[in-house]
Amino acid sequence: MLWRNLCAHPIRVAYCSPNPQALDRRCGEGLQPDNPFYTHEFEIAAEGVQARYHHQIMRYDYAVCPASPGVRITSTEGGGFLCE
Protein backbone atom coordinates (compact mmCIF):
# COMPACT_ATOMS: atom_id res chain seq x y z
CA MET A 1 0.00 0.00 0.00
CA LEU A 2 1.18 3.47 -0.81
CA TRP A 3 -0.36 6.26 1.27
CA ARG A 4 -0.05 9.73 -0.24
CA ASN A 5 -1.13 12.87 1.62
CA LEU A 6 -2.42 15.41 -0.90
CA CYS A 7 -3.35 17.90 1.84
CA ALA A 8 -1.34 20.98 2.78
CA HIS A 9 -1.31 19.80 6.43
CA PRO A 10 -0.21 16.58 8.15
CA ILE A 11 -2.71 13.75 8.54
CA ARG A 12 -3.03 10.78 10.90
CA VAL A 13 -4.00 7.43 9.37
CA ALA A 14 -5.27 4.34 11.17
CA TYR A 15 -6.15 0.94 9.73
CA CYS A 16 -6.70 -2.66 10.81
CA SER A 17 -4.63 -5.67 9.77
CA PRO A 18 -3.75 -9.07 11.27
CA ASN A 19 -0.13 -7.97 11.82
CA PRO A 20 0.40 -8.00 15.63
CA GLN A 21 3.49 -5.77 15.33
CA ALA A 22 1.12 -2.83 15.57
CA LEU A 23 -0.08 -0.77 18.46
CA ASP A 24 -0.96 -2.63 21.62
CA ARG A 25 -4.68 -2.70 20.96
CA ARG A 26 -6.94 -4.69 18.70
CA CYS A 27 -9.30 -3.09 16.23
CA GLY A 28 -12.61 -2.46 17.94
CA GLU A 29 -10.72 -1.48 21.12
CA GLY A 30 -10.39 -5.17 22.07
CA LEU A 31 -14.09 -5.74 22.71
CA GLN A 32 -14.08 -8.98 20.74
CA PRO A 33 -11.48 -11.39 22.21
CA ASP A 34 -11.37 -13.54 19.05
CA ASN A 35 -10.76 -10.48 16.85
CA PRO A 36 -7.54 -11.18 14.88
CA PHE A 37 -7.06 -7.57 13.71
CA TYR A 38 -4.73 -4.95 15.20
CA THR A 39 -4.79 -1.18 14.87
CA HIS A 40 -1.92 0.50 13.02
CA GLU A 41 -1.57 4.25 13.27
CA PHE A 42 0.89 6.71 11.74
CA GLU A 43 1.27 10.29 10.54
CA ILE A 44 2.10 11.53 7.07
CA ALA A 45 3.57 14.98 6.58
CA ALA A 46 1.91 17.50 4.28
CA GLU A 47 2.27 16.23 0.70
CA GLY A 48 4.24 13.24 2.04
CA VAL A 49 4.16 9.54 1.16
CA GLN A 50 4.40 6.36 3.25
CA ALA A 51 4.56 2.77 2.04
CA ARG A 52 3.15 -0.09 4.11
CA TYR A 53 3.19 -3.77 3.21
CA HIS A 54 0.96 -6.47 4.67
CA HIS A 55 0.89 -9.89 3.04
CA GLN A 56 -2.46 -11.33 1.93
CA ILE A 57 -4.69 -8.47 3.07
CA MET A 58 -7.38 -7.81 0.50
CA ARG A 59 -9.54 -5.30 2.35
CA TYR A 60 -8.69 -2.47 4.73
CA ASP A 61 -10.90 -0.44 7.02
CA TYR A 62 -9.18 2.86 7.62
CA ALA A 63 -9.59 6.40 8.89
CA VAL A 64 -7.85 9.61 7.93
CA CYS A 65 -7.97 12.55 10.34
CA PRO A 66 -6.11 15.83 10.68
CA ALA A 67 -2.90 15.34 12.68
CA SER A 68 -3.84 18.02 15.19
CA PRO A 69 -3.29 18.03 18.95
CA GLY A 70 -6.34 16.60 20.66
CA VAL A 71 -7.63 14.71 17.59
CA ARG A 72 -7.74 11.01 18.37
CA ILE A 73 -8.68 8.01 16.22
CA THR A 74 -10.68 5.25 17.88
CA SER A 75 -11.85 1.99 16.38
CA THR A 76 -15.40 0.75 16.82
CA GLU A 77 -16.56 -2.73 17.79
CA GLY A 78 -17.50 -3.40 14.16
CA GLY A 79 -14.04 -2.49 12.84
CA GLY A 80 -14.80 1.06 11.69
CA PHE A 81 -13.03 4.21 12.86
CA LEU A 82 -13.94 7.60 14.32
CA CYS A 83 -12.00 10.86 14.42
CA GLU A 84 -12.67 12.44 17.79
Q: What are phi and psi of 75, to 5 degrees?
A: -105, 145
Query: Under a CB-based contact definition with an 8 Å cutoff, are residues 48 and 7 in contact?
Result: no
pLDDT value of residue 21: 67
* pLDDT above 60 for 7: yes
pTM over the 0.95 mark: no
pLDDT value of residue 79: 65
pLDDT in tens, 14-66: 887 777 666 556 676 655 667 677 778 889 999 999 887 665 665 667 788 88
Name every residue whose Cβ is closer than 8 Å to that of residue 30 and which is 6 or more positions away in sequence. Answer: none
